[in-house]
Structure 1
């Protein structure tokens, strides 16, 4: 019998963060799951850690795919294509799941068939930190839709795609059919593969919904290769993606102006950006009169 949710994870040289990530998957409650792990040519102890973890579970529950090094986009596509469930969830090799994440998202998506792509709020933690998860009730059942009163409310945040990438990749659950409809990730891209995917899904009619519950944690550390080292090419790529989203969603013209104004601001040195933001922070910190 197929699992209710398939989790896929692509990993390369993540021996420091991987154990905590795998534990957070193993701690998922009230839902049947499988984990597809694609090792994209690791040269450290990552593959040994994956094999040790897989041995703890019944055959087929945790599957390892060595790729030899095919790149992030191709690795993501190979990983989700190997999944068996109708509901899919990515987890990056340095991020974490709340123990109730999959069960709560699954309950919402079963209750609301129109929800194709469901993100959650995220906590942000340092390299050596653990998240302080909130205590949350589990739905009474996930095999059928639980009573409406037990289902968290999901809000539509699709329009935010015209301003920035509003969700953590590891927070998302998606219907397999939706991912198949757009052909998965764009393997030609080197960065922002998730943002590109959300925009293509939105253009195909899939709305982006979010639970305002912190059910995932994003780890910030020096080894990351994307937002931590924002370059001019990254800023321009963001600008192009924002404008694609604005066109696809038919957003008002002011979104184009805001997107253009954001480019020179983001090119400023970080210290200057913080200085420019200081008056706003001071104003917001003043008590109401």
Structure 2
């Protein structure tokens, strides 16, 4: 079977000032075993060499690599940039790659094969290697599986009881996903209101919309390297003491979204109430959860 009888995969790589890492990310697409792909390089208003790097690759591979930008080369945020790439995508399948991450060569081939085995699914999510050794060879890389039993299909609303941010299991990373373009359209794409510090939850807002309505395959494969680095939004939000403000924003957005969608799932509603409890009832939460937990730790240390 020739490459072009297989489904076209549109790879959406949005970037902002990623001159250090962009070339490595693009090269990891060029080295995929699966060859029927197009790569949309979406420039979110870069002011460094990223723009020139992306344009160079688009000129060198005009049949497969497309350079895109917002009108006036403005910055609109990661979600708006991903949505722009998805709008221009020609493929039936969409894979996102963060500009500082890297795919291993089997990534697209393995995920396309899962879609072919399970034609009713909307998304495949795989494990990610948290990549520390790129900067310090003495540090160990850590593979993190998606925090639900793997190599199986989950129906609508089933993943909420397994995965962060409403449960404790590890959520998938964007570079580990592949979705049908139709499913992305059904859920309305990425949420463009999650900008600046709230971009910490932009992937979770999108994923929660998918979990709510679609069937998802959780894969045990691990074909992406999730670069861990200083200055990431995760580090910035935590260091600035903004994590709980951002988490509350997301949870209240999701509560409003469920109401708008007229979604009624008792298990999901219970998980959301529990997650919102510390923010809506801080004193009660302190007395019933935080204080008893502290007392248990003190007692355990004194034994």
TM bracket (short chain): 0.7 to 0.9
Helix, strand or coil at the partner of 2:39: strand
Is residue 2:143 matched to residue 1:128? no
Partner Cα separation in structure 2 for residue 115 and residue 100 of structure 1 = 20
Q: Which deviations, in whole Å up to 9, do the C-alpha atoms of 1:225-271 show, x marking residues without a partner?
A: 2455231322323443675799857253652464246778xxxxxxx
Cα distance change, pair 249–92 in 1 and its aligned pair in 2 (3 A): farther
Cα 1:186–1:256 change in 2 (3 A) is closer
Contact kept in structure 1, 2:8 and 2:93, CA below 8 Å: yes
Distance 1:132 1:229, change over 3 A: closer
1:166 to 165, 168, 171: 171
2:275 to 259, 275, 286: 259
Please tell me whether the aligned partners of residues 9 and 90 of structure 1 are also in contact (alpha carbons under 8 angstroms). Answer: yes
State the Cα distance separating 1:196 from its structure 2 match: 1.0
**Structure 1: which 5+ runs fail to align?**
135-151, 265-275, 280-289
Are 2:251 and 2:272, in contact at CA under 8 Å, matched by a contact in 1?
A: no
Out of 69, 74, 78, the residue aligned to residue 66 of structure 1 is: 69
Is the Cα–Cα contact under 8 Å of residues 88 and 174 in structure 1 kept in the other structure?
Answer: yes
For 2:210, the equivalent position in structure 1 comes to 201
* Structure 2 unaligned regions, length at least 5: 144-149, 283-293, 298-303
The aligned counterpart of 1:237 is: 249
Question: What's the TM-score once normalised by structure 2's chain length?
Answer: 0.71
In the superposition, relative to structure 1, how do residues 228 and 105 fare at CA in structure 2: closer, same or farther (>3 Å)?
Answer: farther
Post-superposition offset of 1:212: 1.2
Moved more, 89-98 or 69-78: 69-78
Which deviations, in whole Å up to 9, do the C-alpha atoms of 1:115-142 show, x marking residues without a partner?
11111000101362689799xxxxxxxx
Matches within 5 A, 1:246-285: 248=263, 250=265, 252=267, 255-256=271-272, 258-260=274-276
Matching of residue 221 in structure 1 with residue 237 in structure 2: no
Q: Does the 8 A contact of 2:151 with 2:217 survive in 1?
A: no
Cα distance in 2, alignment partners of residues 66 and 241 from structure 1 = 28
Match of 2:291 in 1: none
Q: Is the 8 A contact 2:248 2:276 kept in 1?
A: no
The one of 178, 191, 194 equivalent to 1:189 is: 194
State the SS of the aligned residue for 2:38.
Answer: strand
Residue matched to 1:282 = none
- Larger % of helix: which? 2
> For the Cα contact (< 8 Å) 1:120–1:172, is it kept in 2?
yes
- Listed one character per residue, the Cα deviations across residues 130-159 of structure 1 (whole Å, up to 9, x for unaligned) are 89799xxxxxxxxxxxxxxxxx93353622
- Tell me, yes or no, if the aligned pair for 2:205 and 2:254 is still in contact at 8 Å: no
Q: Secondary structure at the match of 2:220?
A: strand
Give a deviation string over 1:49-101, Cα, whole Å, max 9, x none.
112223432x2300001221241222111111111110000111011112101
Q: 1:154 and 1:227 mapped to 2: Cα distance?
A: 33
Structure-1 residue corresponding to 2:39: 35
Name the SS of the counterpart of 2:221 in structure 1: strand
Aligned residue pairs total: 253
Aligned-pair CA distance for 1:24? 1.2
Q: Kindly indicate whether the alpha-carbon contact (under 8 Å) linking 1:39 and 1:47 is maintained by their aligned counterparts in 2.
A: yes
Question: SS in structure 1 opposite 2:14?
Answer: strand
